[in-house]
Amino acid sequence: MPIGTLVTSGDLFDFLGLTTEQQSLADDLAGLVEALLLQQCGRGPERPFQAAQPGRVEIHDGTGNPLLWLDYRVDTLTSVLLGQNPSTPDETLNVSDPAVLVWGVGSPRIARVDGRRFGCLDRPRYIQVTYDAQADAPAEASLAVLRVTAAVRRQRGSEDAKSERMGAYSADLAAVAQDDPVWQMAVAGLGRWR
């Protein structure tokens, strides 16, 4: 069972050597730790780390320029539709014509090179892009979540872990994460992961 997107309940159970009755609280704690990692990496809940995602559809506002940044790195670009209603688009861009669009595998950026732009700036819900997104769940992120979760549990003590409320952990998370070298390397590397 996934806790967030980086760590499963089974991973946590094995890493911490938990008993069954301690599992639920540890899962909740790992969820808080993962949320802290996302925050420190400049990601919100709308753009979590994830496995490869085929057929991802994103809808963006018009950019007013020839560049568009997607949420994840592209593996295969399938379609780009412009207009308020994707079922009857104002324009359908040919994604395989390098005289119209330029994009690269492993990059979240697509560019119009036909002298036009992706609609007027802030035109709401104007661009619909369908693509296969590359995996975006680096191993160092999972390890950082496991290490900080384990450190907070050890620091708080596991003897009262069955009854203690999650609020008691929140003050410890940032301090423990700050001291963990794997966490610091993950944040430094993942903050640039785009």
Residue of 157 and 41 predicted with greater confidence: 41
d(CA 18, CA 32): 18
Tens digit of pLDDT for each residue in 18-28?
777 677 778 88
Q: What is the mean pLDDT of residues 48-61?
A: 90
Confidence check: pLDDT of 165 > 80: no
> Which pLDDT does position 164 carry in this prediction?
41
Residue 111's CB is within 10 A of a number of other CB atoms, namely 15
The candidate with the shortest Cα–Cα distance to 68, out of 131, 142, 135, is 131
Q: For residue 57, is pLDDT > 90?
A: yes
Q: What average pLDDT does the segment 180-189 reach?
A: 86
Q: Average pLDDT in the 99-120 region?
A: 95
**How high is the pLDDT of residue 168?**
52
Instruction: List phi, psi (to 5°) of 80.
Output: -135, 115
Length of the chain: 194
Measure the CA–CA gap between 118 and 46, rounded to whole angstroms: 22
- Number of helices (H) and strands (E), helices first, in the chain? 5, 7
Band of residue 160 on the pLDDT scale cut at 50, 70, 90: very low
Distance of CA 87 to the CA centre of its chain: 28
Whether residue 190 has pLDDT greater than 80:
no
pLDDT digits (tens, 9 = 90+) for 67-109: 999 999 999 999 999 999 989 999 999 999 999 999 999 999 9
191 compared with 71, residue with greater pLDDT: 71
What is the C-alpha separation between 33 and 183, in angstroms, rounded?
11
